[in-house]
């Protein structure tokens, strides 16, 4: 049971000493079982018969917040929306009201007791938001005035606070106090577990639909088991700034795929239409359109501004020249041991290049020799058995040969000019 687990959790903290609080705070950050049990008890306290259970939980959370440990402080902040919903729906829990007032007064002042002011920047239209996508805007000409205007937009600070302290919650300050607490919760929403986000979305749906007939909505999920009892309860007044802060929770929940986030978004839209809150409708429809036509999946990969040229010194397969072995090299038997005479000399690329260079230089030297007629290699003369005398004196290939033909005797004599 959730109540038994919560009671054990309360007794464990009371038995700790001051030296053990730091180690205990680190363990509580990952104690999801206790977190889920606290969400169940605070969401539906009427199911648990213990009268002092809510009082003990509120006292424990306040001690966590005032302990000075960052982990225990975040542990308390994650239950702020659930406590707010419990107070707005049932104001008979005085311990919840005291806890909310204490958390509010501790957050609106700094360590020196002065009113706290939070400052943050609002991005310009050049940066994407839930209302537009900057990647589809036409690129404008960047001039000096445009750059100055863009820098001024990004350096404009928006302040939150200072807020006055309160002694108790009443009809005049209740909406302002709970809106400020939800704003502080949104600063730490990334540290909240998914189960806590889902419980918060269900609480948002119950908050904005209480007192309305929700049976006609066929697309509505079963976030509330007793819709008839929910319709008979009085409607809870919500302001426009409070719904804007709740939209922050819904948007973050939808991005984390939490159950009930889309239903909570539709419930806020219906309540904003009923209350005629233009700002809430604008933000809610922007979130709805962004979730339906999200461009995060079809993101464009930026192209590089310059191309990389291939270096000529890069080593590739073409750098290794294939060499054809001569045909007269015998194939060696791998099983036969090599002897000194049978060992073959290795053929290297330098030797082959040297031999080619020598042969080319010798041929080119012969070509540049002076051409002298009549100088050549002499061959032996052969005796003609028929009486025809022929002399062949072969010279160089460039020597001039003259042919004299005797038409009467039809005898051809080759004479080389001397």
Are 289 and 381 part of one and the same domain? no
325 is a domain residue: no
Residue 269, CA distances (Å) to 250, 283, 294, 388 in order: 12, 10, 19, 127
CB 87 within 8 A of CB 96: yes
Q: How far apart are CA 317 and CA 132, in angstroms?
A: 51
Contacts 24+ apart (CB under 8 A), 398-406: 398/371, 399/371, 399/373, 399/374, 400/373
Q: Which residues pair with 118 in a beta bridge?
A: 160
78 is a domain residue: yes
Looking at residue 300, its pLDDT comes to 41
In a 3-state reduction of DSSP, which class is residue 414?
Answer: strand
- Final residue belonging to a domain, choices 257, 276, 294: 294
Tokens of 342: 């049978």
Average pLDDT over residues 230-254: 89
Give the structural domain span for 225.
193-294
Q: How far apart are CA 88 and CA 181, in angstroms?
A: 13
Q: How far apart are CA 65 and CA 76, in angstroms?
A: 6
Are 108 and 199 part of one and the same domain? no
173 is a domain residue: no
Q: Element (H or E) spanning 24, and its range? A: helix 21-28
CB atoms within 10 A of CB 185: 22
In a 3-state reduction of DSSP, which class is residue 405?
Answer: strand
Tokens of 84: 């707010």
- Final residue belonging to a domain, choices 264, 294, 324: 294
In a 3-state reduction of DSSP, which class is residue 406?
Answer: strand
Q: What does the pLDDT look like over 128-145, one tens digit per residue?
A: 676 666 666 555 544 555
Are 290 and 379 part of one and the same domain? no
Is the pLDDT score of 192 beyond 50? yes
177 is a domain residue: no
7 is a domain residue: yes
26 is a domain residue: yes
Contacts 24+ apart (CB under 8 A), 221-227: 221/260, 221/263, 223/260, 223/263
Is the pLDDT score of 412 beyond 50? no
Give me the chain's average pLDDT, please: 74
338 is a domain residue: no
Q: What does the pLDDT look like over 334-391, one tens digit per residue?
A: 666 555 445 555 555 555 555 555 555 554 555 555 555 555 555 555 455 444 444 4
Domains: count for the chain: 3
Q: How far apart are CA 243 and CA 268, in angstroms?
A: 7
Angle between helices 261-275 and 194-209 (to 10 degrees): 30
Is the pLDDT score of 10 beyond 70? yes
The position carrying tokens 């986030």 is 261
Of 153, 183, 327, 181, nearest in space to 245 by CA: 183
Are 105 and 1 part of one and the same domain? yes
- Final residue belonging to a domain, choices 294, 315, 342: 294
Average pLDDT over residues 301-317: 51
Q: How far apart are CA 84 and CA 122, in angstroms?
A: 28
DSSP 167: S
Q: Element (H or E) spanning 180, and its range? A: helix 174-187
236 is a domain residue: yes
């Amino acid at each position: 049971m959730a109540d038994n687990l919560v009671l054990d959790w309360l007794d464990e903290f009371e038995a700790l000493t001051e030296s053990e609080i730091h180690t205990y705070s680190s363990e509580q950050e990952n104690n999801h079982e206790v977190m889920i049990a606290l969400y169940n008890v605070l969401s539906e306290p009427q199911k648990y018969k213990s009268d002092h259970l809510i009082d003990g939980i509120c006292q424990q959370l306040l001690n966590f917040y005032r302990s000075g440990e960052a982990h225990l402080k975040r542990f308390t902040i994650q239950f702020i929306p659930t406590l707010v919903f419990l107070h707005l729906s049932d104001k008979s829990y005085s311990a919840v009201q005291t806890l909310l007032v204490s958390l509010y007064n501790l957050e609106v002042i700094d360590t020196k007791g002065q009113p706290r002011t939070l400052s943050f920047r609002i991005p310009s239209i050049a940066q994407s938001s839930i209302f537009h996508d900057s990647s589809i805007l036409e690129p404008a000409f960047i001039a000096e005035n445009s750059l100055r205007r863009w820098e001024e937009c990004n350096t404009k600070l928006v302040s939150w606070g200072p807020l006055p302290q309160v002694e108790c919650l009443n009809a005049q300050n209740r909406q302002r106090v709970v809106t400020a607490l939800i704003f502080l919760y949104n600063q730490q929403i990334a540290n909240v577990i998914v189960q806590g986000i889902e419980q918060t979305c269900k609480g948002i749906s119950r908050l904005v639909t209480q007192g309305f007939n929700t049976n006609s909505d066929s697309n509505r999920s079963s976030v509330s088991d007793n819709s008839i009892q929910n319709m008979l309860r009085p409607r809870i007044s919500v302001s426009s700034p409070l719904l804007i802060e709740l939209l922050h929770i819904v948007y973050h929940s939808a991005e984390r795929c939490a159950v009930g986030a889309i239903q909570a978004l539709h419930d806020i839209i219906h309540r904003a239409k009923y209350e005629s809150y233009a700002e809430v409708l604008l933000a809610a429809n922007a979130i709805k359109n962004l979730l339906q036509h999200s461009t995060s999946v079809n993101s464009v990969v930026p192209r590089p501004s310059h191309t990389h040229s291939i270096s000529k010194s890069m080593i590739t397969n073409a750098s290794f020249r294939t060499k054809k072995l001569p045909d007269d090299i015998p194939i060696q038997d791998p099983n036969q041991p090599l002897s000194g005479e049978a060992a073959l000399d290795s053929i290297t690329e330098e030797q082959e290049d040297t031999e080619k260079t020598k042969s080319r230089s010798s041929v080119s030297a012969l070509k540049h020799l002076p051409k002298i007629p009549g100088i050549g290699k002499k061959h032996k003369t052969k005796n003609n058995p028929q009486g025809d005398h022929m002399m062949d004196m072969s010279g160089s290939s460039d020597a001039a040969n003259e042919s004299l033909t005797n038409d009467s005797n039809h005898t051809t004599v080759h004479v080389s000019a001397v």
